[in-house]
Amino acid sequence: MVNAIVGANWGDEGKGKITDMMAKEADIIVRFQGGANAGHTIVNDYGKFALHTLPSGVFYSHTTSIIGNGVALNIPVLFEEIQSIVDRGVPKPKILVSDRAQIVMSYHILFDQYEEERLGGKSFGSTKSGIAPFYSDKYAKIGFQVSELFEEESLKEKVGRICETKNIMLEHLYHKPLLDPEELMKELKGYREMVEPYVCDTSAYLWQAIQEGKNILLEGQLGSLKDPDHGIYPMVTSSSTLAAYGAIGAGVPPYEIKKIITVCKAYSSSVGAGAFVSEIFGEDADELRRRGGDGGEYGATTGRPRRMGWFDAVASKYGCRIQGTTDVAFTVLDVLGYLDEIPVCVGYEIDGEVTTEFPATTKLEKAKPVLEVLPGWNCDIRGIRNYGDLPENCRNYVEFVEKHIGFPITMISNGPGRDDIIYRSKG
């Protein structure tokens, strides 16, 4: 069986924890898109970790972790991550890398930095991880596939062509140092040595695993609202964040994805620029940011303070719908225990009219939140394992959210640890 774990919103929903938890019953965990531009924070028996490329199931010795063909593969970052968890006592994970994955080059990171610098105040809030230039090259068909590392003559010829193209931009647009073909070849040879033991046809591997009835998890990065087709364009990422893309980015048949667990926070947060209707500011935002997450709401990759907001039922309903959600995992509910009253955004007012449908960006930027205020529960709910044991106002909040998003909340996270979870039956 293949299950997908994806985000409903802007990212930072808690997918890493849910993947880590569900990996206990999984055989294989696959990263199918994105790169080292976003992080998954995980708290388990080994400690607290921020992963960027490794799938969140690497902490179980019985699992195989796969870097799928849809991933923007930064090879040095991958191997630094492996070493960093091994150094902290985690058994070395079994990892396979798709021979069709494409490589993030050092110049992709430089081009990312140069473009943000050029745009100045109109920048996209990039993590400067090279992701946009990487995907641009991939679809312009001038990227490097892992398999190409092992064909030196054709690789050398391609490096020469790419340097010619890139150096025109470096000289005339960015006014930066030019690329050296010999240095690039040296970089690629280094990557070959690092990745060679792990390379295989992961799509064939997964096909065989499906025939054998193995449990496979597809782990997404970021969330619905960062999808380049369905998100808050242009303030989006460069690869599809939807479960549907999991079939492509992992190389499995789409009909094999049986369950789509969409992770949704009990409040809202976002890193980076873009429309954010339920955003709050000042002391309210500072307090929620300080108490939020598993040590404050700061980007796992950048360390930037996350933008904070109340739960947005409009955005979350849309995010769940576009994912094809079967189950909602509702995270960080425990964080809200300090509030006497909890506002929820239940609609958007746009040009004097109220809607509960999430609009395209041009209208979204004009939207004002329509808030409904619920009573808080004013206590710590960590340690509770049965839904019926939650305070009445807490259950009312969950059920209010469920009604407004229209998808079943079957899991509730009430703490950072892998066992801080409450299961609820559908309907």
Which residues, in sequence order, are bridge partners of residue 31?
A: 67, 219
Q: Rounded CA gap, 65 and 62, in Å? A: 10
Note the pLDDT of residue 57. Answer: 83
- Token duo for residue 394: 């807490």
Peptide bond into 234 cis (omega under 30): yes
Instruction: Decide which of 419 and 403 is more confident.
Output: 403
Q: Which of 20, 40, 108, 327 is catalytic?
A: 40
Note the pLDDT of residue 229. Answer: 96
Please compute the mean of the pLDDT values over residues 392-401 and round it to a whole number: 98
> pLDDT at residue 417 above 90?
no
Range with the lowest mean pLDDT among 27-41, 191-205, 385-399? 27-41
2-87+203-423 and 102-197 have identical folds: no
Task: Work out the end-to-end distance of the chain between its first and last CA atoms, rounded to an integer number of angstroms.
Answer: 23
Note the pLDDT of residue 118. Answer: 87
Please compute the mean of the pLDDT values over residues 136-164 and round it to a whole number: 95
Instruction: Parse the chain into domains and list their residue ranges.
Output: 2-87+203-423, 102-197
Q: For residue 346, give the H/E element and its range.
A: strand 341-350
CB-count burial class (<10 Å; 0-12, 13-18, 19+) for 334? buried
Q: Please report which confidence band the pLDDT of residue 124 belongs to, taking 50, 70 and 90 as the band edges.
A: low
Q: Which CATH class is domain 2-87+203-423?
A: alpha beta
Let me know if 12 is a catalytic residue. Answer: yes
pLDDT tens figures, 21-69: 899 999 999 999 988 876 777 888 888 888 888 988 888 999 999 999 9
Let me know if 40 is a catalytic residue. Answer: yes
> pLDDT at residue 296 above 90?
no
**Beta carbons of 355 and 347 less than 8 angstroms apart:** yes
> pLDDT at residue 303 above 80?
no
What does pTM read for this prediction? 0.91
> pLDDT at residue 7 above 70?
yes
DSSP3 helix / strand / coil % (the chain, rounded to 5): 40, 25, 40
> pLDDT at residue 123 above 70?
no
Q: How far is CA 184 from CA 109, 140, 152, 156, 159, in A?
A: 14, 19, 12, 9, 7
Average pLDDT, the chain: 93
* 102-197 under CATH 1.10.300.10, yes or no: yes
Note the pLDDT of residue 427. Answer: 57
